[in-house]
Amino acid sequence: MPCVVEWPGRIARQRSDAVCGTVDIYPTLLEALARAEGLSEFASSEILVSRPSASEPARIAVALLIDAADPASNLKLSGGEEIRVPEASKIYIAGNVRKPGAIALRD
């Protein structure tokens, strides 16, 4: 199959009979999280992904996405999505303990 390449303003329309493939430029949810340097220790157990075309955000379980490597949870992003990682509920430990501070409560 011939390959036609065009990028208005950058590459003039060209045609080649060379074998070519496609490159997927849209990231997945995991790739987007990796670009944000991952989840913090206080991330909740659920990630919310809002899409412009959906009325309700998709709720993605961190355990399925990362621990179980579920491909269905690794959403393909197409632009315009908002990814929110809520903060987990915390308890605070103070007083005569070796490591005072906050501890995230997870499901």
Provide the pLDDT for residue 4.
Answer: 62
E strand residue ranges, 1-42: 3-7, 11-16
Rounded to an integer, the average pLDDT of 72-98 is: 91
Q: Band the pLDDT of 6: cuts 50, 70, 90.
A: low
pLDDT digits (tens, 9 = 90+) for 41-76: 889 999 999 998 889 999 999 999 988 889 999 999
pTM: 0.68
